[in-house]
C-alpha cells in the first residue's frame, strides 16, 4: 500500500515543468486530485510539431481548447475517437472546436468500443493511462496518467498503433 506522503511526492513531480533535456523522463498523475488533468494539459501545451490523440470519450472543454490552441500555433493535431461515445452535444462541441481551429478529427466504429486513451507528442513523448478526455475524468473519477517523455522508440510503437486506428476512421465535419 502506498502511503499518503508518497502519493503527495508523486503528485509534486507532475507539477514540475518540462525540461529541454533529451534524457527520458516519466511522470504520473491522478484524478480527481488534479495531477492527471495538469499533466495531460502540460503535455498538449508543450507540443511543438505534432499531437496524435486516440480516445474513447472526448468532451473536456479545457482539453479541446488546449488542442485548438496547439493547432492555431501550427502544431499538426489529429484525433481518432470512438464514434458511438461521441454522439452527444458536449463531444460534438469539443470536436468542432478542434476542427474549426485547423485540427483533424476522425471517428471510428470499427470496434465494439475504441477504448484507447493515448496522446503521442512530437514523435517522442507518450501520455497514456485510464484517463478519458472528459470532465468526469478530471474531477470525479479515479483515473491515472503516465507520461513517458523523450522515448522515441516507445512513441514509435504507439504511433504505429495510432495510425492503424486512424486508417479506420471517418473524417468529422464541423456542425457549425
Pick the catalytic residue: 78, 114, 122, 124? 122
User: Would you say 130 and 117 are in contact if contact means Cβ atoms under 8 Å apart?
Assistant: yes
Active-site residue among 78, 82, 114, 117? 117
Instruction: Respond yes or no: is residue 167 known to be catalytic.
Output: no
β-pairing, 125-129 vs 143-149, is antiparallel
Given the residues 46, 84, 115, 135, the one annotated as active site = 115
Question: What are the C-alpha distances in Å from 106 to residues 55, 80, 97, 134, 143?
Answer: 11, 5, 13, 18, 25
Q: What is the DSSP letter of 86?
A: G
Write out 118-162 in H/E/C secondary structure: EEEECCCEEEEECCCECHHHHHCCCEEEEEEECCHHHHHHHHHHH
Q: Residue 85 CA to chain centroid, in angstroms? A: 16
Q: Name, in order, each residue with C-beta under 8 angstroms of 59's C-beta and a sequence gap of 6 or more.
A: 86, 88, 90, 91, 93, 94, 133, 134, 135
Q: Is 115 a residue of the active site?
A: yes
Which residues have a catalytic role annotated? Answer: 115, 117, 122
Amino acid at each position: 500500500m502506498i502511503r499518503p506522503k508518497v502519493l503527495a511526492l508523486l503528485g509534486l513531480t507532475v507539477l514540475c515543468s518540462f525540461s529541454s533535456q533529451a534524457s527520458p523522463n516519466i511522470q504520473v498523475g491522478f484524478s480527481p486530485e488534479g495531477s492527471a488533468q495538469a499533466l495531460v494539459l502540460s503535455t498538449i501545451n508543450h507540443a511543438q510539431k505534432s499531437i496524435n490523440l486516440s480516445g474513447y470519450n472526448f468532451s473536456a472543454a479545457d482539453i479541446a481548447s488546449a488542442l485548438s490552441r496547439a493547432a492555431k500555433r501550427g502544431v499538426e493535431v489529429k484525433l481518432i475517437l470512438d464514434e458511438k461515445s461521441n454522439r452527444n452535444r458536449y463531444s460534438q462541441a469539443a470536436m468542432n472546436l478542434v476542427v474549426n481551429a485547423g485540427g483533424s478529427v476522425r471517428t471510428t466504429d470499427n470496434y465494439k468500443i475504441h477504448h484507447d486513451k493515448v496522446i503521442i507528442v512530437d514523435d517522442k513523448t507518450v501520455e497514456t493511462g485510464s484517463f478519458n478526455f472528459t470532465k468526469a475524468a478530471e474531477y470525479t473519477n479515479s483515473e491515472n496518467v503516465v507520461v513517458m517523455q523523450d522515448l522515441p522508440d516507445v512513441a514509435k510503437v504507439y504511433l504505429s498503433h495510432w495510425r492503424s486506428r486512424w486508417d479506420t476512421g471517418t473524417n468529422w465535419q464541423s456542425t457549425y
